[in-house]
């Protein structure tokens, strides 16, 4: 059971408006981008996370060289 749900209608321009309570629950802001996937049971929206937002989330082991010295020439 989803935490929030609502009903939307497709406009003549094939647009939908996400209800306010769902936008708030999912922290959707103007300008956010999503991929639309066709699933067996309907459509799925998957948020596209900009690479800049991922900066600092992956731990780097500084003891391991990024490239071998011989690969640099």
Give residue 50's pLDDT: 80
Give me the domains of the chain, ranges plus CATH numbers: 1-50 (2.10.260.10)
pLDDT tens, residue by residue, 13-25: 999 999 999 999 9
pTM of the model: 0.60
Which residues 6+ apart lie within 8 Å of 30 measured at CB? none
Pairwise CA distance, residues 27 & 51, whole Å: 18
């Amino acid at each position: 059971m989803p935490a929030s749900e609502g009903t939307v209608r497709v406009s003549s321009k094939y647009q939908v408006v996400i209800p306010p309570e769902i936008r708030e629950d999912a922290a959707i802001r103007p300008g956010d981008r999503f991929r639309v996937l066709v699933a067996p049971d309907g459509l799925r929206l998957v948020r596209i996370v900009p690479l800049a937002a991922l900066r600092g989330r992956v731990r780097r082991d500084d003891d391991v060289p990024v490239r071998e010295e011989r690969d640099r020439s």
